[in-house]
A and B are shown apart, each in its own frame.
Chain A
Amino acid sequence: MAILKEAYKALETIVGARYLSDDPVICQGYQSGPAGYENGTGYERVMTKLPGAVILPRSTEEVQKIVKICVRYTIPYVPYSTGFYGPRSHCHVGNELLIDLKRLNDFEFDEKHWYATVGSGVVYSQFQEECLRRGGYVVIGGGGAQASVIANLIGDGWSPLSHRIGLPHRRILGTEMVLPDGEILRMGSLAVGDDWYWGDGIGPDLRGLLRGYTGLRGCLGIVTRMAVKVLPFQPERLQPTGISPNTALALPEKRVKWINYIMPSKEAQVKAMYEICKAEIGGAVTKVPLFWRAIAKAECKEEFWDLWLKETPETVANFHIVRVLLIGFTSEEQLTYDENVLSDIMMELGGQPRRTKPSDESWIKNADSAGMWLMCGSYVSVDYVIETLKQATEHGPVYAELKKKYTPPLMPDHGDPGWFQTFELGYQGYSEFLIYWDQDEDTTGVDHFYLETSKMNIDHRFYTALIGPHQPLYLTGPKYGPNYHEWMLKIKNEFDPTWTCHPPVPFAHDEFVERAPWMHELKTWESPKKSIYPKWLEKQLAAEAREFRESLQERK
């Protein structure tokens, strides 16, 4: 069954034939896998579908009309900006309409008031360059230079630059959103006029609907335009140099400078971070995993493995780096001040400076996660948590311990405990744990590890990114809040009573566990006794689950 002809015609009148297609080849181009973030996992194989049709609107008004038609004809739809965020931002049910937002690429900059208004199709490297040119900067999230600014800001939105800039939530200003039922919601200063510069709500703040700690992955409406706060940087040019693949930004050394310190112990490493935050210096303060250095050094995959397999659990355990970016926001003298303070701290703690290149390859304009796929082909940042430095520095080793059980198929990493860094001058600490594997191997272990980490976080009472649509909702729901999932579902039902907006998210991971026989042994939580879906979706999901079972039988 394809999308109803009548509905298709109606959609075509909105955007014109050029920007709507149900051709199977066009739809194939929007496949989630086989590779990419979180692809090659069971979730991707079981839960993603090719779109039934793809539409490319140009404006908020067009998006609104499309959504209204979808609601009228009960056509499931998913918003899609750059499609980088793996399976969770792709179609999950048959005959779904993929709304590709790349043509919403308007951009305006208000230099005096430090913000820019961006459409969903604007990507980070574009935005960062526009900022740098004006003496400002933003955080390019781990998703990288080519990720949609809006999608990233309502999903993730941090990097080592968050040491100053902080939580992404605070940078979301005036925002325009098409709610799942087709109503337009304008937030911040936009709520009362035509001005985008301010983010707070008039009274309570409905920016709460945009995301949680991590994002909703498109199941609660479509953000079409957003004003994003820009932070003042410094006036000197960061000069691009080199020919691909060896390109970098040459830093104006009196204004911007990376310094790496090797610390004698983890205690000294952590203490250094606290002291830097107490002194309120720096533009980024981070530990980095040892294998990033191997990635940076290696010219190709094979060279990486040559380098990496020479390391041992001891070298990894004894690698205590603190990487600090100094920025002379005020002046060259400020950079000197920061550097003096940093030297004092390091002197006290026995930190040894290492030669550091006067360039930036990774963080200012890039946040280059694409390189993360080089080693194995598949990669996911399994957890990425903003909490406090206390949690951040203790979280990784617990992950590393659990991971041993699942290596292989996970990449041999000599027990690397992930990395941590500071946010908001130390009010938050961030930890991230990455896993790598080859998708051509049996990935059951990957699926299991992913879910087990969620249980591990619950047991250790850690905060985690693995909540909301990222793990089974009924596994995490009762354990956080408690029962945040019930509120979330009430909100979903209020704004999307037909569940046409990216179904069955936020319940998709629960659905995956139900469908995938290899996940059943891990199911230790209660699911709702009654279906939480409207009838049409319940029916469709049941049929698709049946289809999946049959396909498994056939393969056997």
Chain B
Amino acid sequence: MPTTKVNLETTDLNNYKYDMSRCIKCKGCYWVEHTYMPGVKFSTRCPSNVWNDFDAYGAFGKMRIGHAMVEKKLDWSPKLLEIIYADPLCGACDVACKRNLDLEIGLSLEAMRVKAVQDGVGPMPAHKKIARNIAASHNCFGSEHGDRKGWLTPDIQVAAKADLLYFVGCTASYTNPEIARATAKILNATGTPFMLMEDEWCCGNTLQSVGMLDEARELARRNIDRVKSTGARRVLLSCAEGYRMWKVEYPKLLNIATADLPFEVVHLTELADELLRQGSLRMTRPVNARVTYHDSCSISRLADPWTPWSGERGWMGTVSPPLKRRRGTHGLYAQPRNVISNIPGIDFVEMIRIRENAFCCGAGRGTKEAFPTLASSSARHRLEEVKEIGAEVLVSACPWCKNNFAQAVREDGEAVKVMDFAELILASLEA
């Protein structure tokens, strides 16, 4: 039986030809998984295909398009670029497919973007601008690099040396200092010493997401080296996108396993859960509100650790050596819920679509910059769900989610308060 050499590199779309050619159009990638299907309302999971109804915008359409690209049956066009990039790569399709078919949908979508960059047609102009910003000032926004630690207030104690390094990220550093401050104060309040990177640069999320792998890889190397040099044993993220970058994408970019990183990557949600269990996180101040939690994609279904793999595909499409598929089972689902529901006074209510079935806010991975209408339509769609369950406060664990929801709330004059996980915890701590 002839075999084909294959690996998981997204730099070659051919690696995913098999996966793209095996999509059966069951549309499990579009609908909430049947077991959890809530009925006719809030029944979809794909922000891209909700934004635009043509099949081409669903993963099942994109697999056909990607396959045609490999077969050289489609030329680049603005429409093709739109279809490839109007997508937050939220992973909903990927985990859905891996319930039944184990196709690498998420990686296929990434590989299509990499090909766009390789062919010189991608990414979108808005992404190129971000790339220029990062190159020039090491953050997505083009803000002064020197202002990166501007969020720090005098009451925050930062250790010169600690096991824990808090990687703040561009958003918490510049646009959402309240998240960085809240995170730092929680660490202080729980007696958890932490240090900061001396010269923190962007994590590279947008670069990696839009297919600019060389640039992203450069950042990955630099950031990992800098952490190594601090001797930190754990890297803490308050940003979901940053968490995914450190935990999954850096190893992927460098062709190593997550387990091979010389430090552990943790998100605030899991650290807070750990501190709560240890007794050091004491949330005593009541928060009297009906609160719901939005699973940010990058700490949930996209967060399974990375293990490099290369091998052969043979009879009936079987591969060897064994490939451990990333199915989104290792996401931080329980931890944030455990913490939030332990806050006194809180009336915690679940959304209709939760965990691996959550509906993405639509902002991440370069989407909001290039396709703001997709981001706002997704946020509004999700806010309908928030209203349906009667929540007053919407909590997420990612600044991208927070900003996107907050903007929609502001524009529509909704009565929902949008908070980051860190802010909610801080609110429950005694002053």
Interface, chain A (partner B; CB < 8 A): 19, 21, 23-26, 28-31, 34-37, 39, 54, 56, 82-84, 100, 102-103, 105, 107, 122-130, 133, 144-146, 240-249, 300-302, 305, 365-366, 368-371, 373-377, 411, 438-440
Is A30 a contact of B61 with CB atoms below 8 Å? yes
- The main secondary structure of chain A at its interface with chain B is loop
* Bound-state Cα–Cα, A302 to B321, Å: 10
Inter-subunit contact B30/A374 (CB<8 Å): no
Report the nearest A residue to B49, measured CB to CB.
A102
Number of residue pairs A-B, CB distance < 8 angstroms: 194
Question: Considering the complex, which residues of chain B in the window 97-133 have a beta carbon less than 8 Å from any beta carbon of chain A?
Answer: 98-102
Task: Establish whether residues B83 and A19, one from each chain, have CB atoms under 8 Å apart when the complex forms.
Answer: no
Q: Give the Cβ gap from A156 to chain B, nearest Cβ, in Å.
A: 15
Given contacts A29-B62, A243-B333, contact A84 B54 (CB under 8 A): no
Residue of A nearest to B66 (CB): A28
- 12 additional A-B residue pairs with CB within 8 Å, beyond A26-B79, A30-B56, A146-B31: A25-B74, A28-B56, A29-B57, A36-B26, A54-B55, A144-B34, A145-B28, A245-B329, A302-B322, A365-B37, A366-B34, A374-B102
- Could you tell me the distance between the alpha carbons of A357 and B130 in the complex, rounded to whole angstroms? 52
Q: Assuming A29-B64, A107-B40, is B54 touching A100 (CB within 8 A)?
A: yes
Q: Which of A23, A31, A133, A242 contacts B39 (CB 8 A)?
A: A133
Contact of B31 among A28, A29, A145, A249 (CB under 8 A): A145
CB distance from A239 to the nearest CB of B (A): 10
Docked-complex contact A29 and B100, CB < 8 angstroms: no
Known: A243-B356, A368-B100. A130 touches B65 (CB 8 A): no
- Pick the residue among B21, B32, B36, B55 that contacts A83 (CB under 8 A): B55
- Whether A35 touches B329, Cβ cut-off 8 Å, given contacts A19-B53, A28-B64, is no
Which of A83, A245, A373 has the most chain B CB atoms closer than 10 A to its own CB?
A245
**Once bound together, how far apart are the Cα atoms of A145 and B38, in whole Å?**
12
Mark the stretch among B202-210, B271-279, B311-319, B374-382 that contacts chain A: B311-319
Asked if B398 is at the interface of the complex by the 8 Å CB criterion, the answer is no
Name the residue among B36, B67, B356 with the largest chain A CB count within 10 angstroms.
B36
Pairwise interchain contact B27-A84, C-beta atoms closer than 8 A: yes
Pick from B34, B40, B60, B356: contact of A105, CB under 8 Å: B40
Q: Is the CB of A28 within 8 A of B65?
A: yes
> Contacts A243-B356, A374-B102: A125 and B64 contacting too (C-beta < 8 A)?
no
Please tell me if B6 contacts chain A, counting CB pairs below 8 Å. no
For residue A373, which residues in chain B have a CB less than 8 angstroms away from its CB? 22, 24, 100-101
Which chain A residues border B54 with CB–CB below 8 Å? Answer: 21, 26, 29, 54, 56, 100
Give the chain B neighbours of A83 by CB distance below 8 A: 25, 27, 55, 60
Shortest distance from the beta carbon of B329 to any chain A beta carbon, whole Å: 5
Instruction: Pick the 4 closest A-B CB pairs, nearest first.
Output: A29-B56, A29-B61, A145-B34, A125-B34
Cβ-neighbour of A129 out of B27, B39, B60 (below 8 A): B39
For B2, the closest partner residue in chain A by CB is A440
B95 at the interface (CB under 8 A from A): yes
The answer to the question of B229 belonging to the interface, with a C-beta cut-off of 8 Å to chain A, is: no
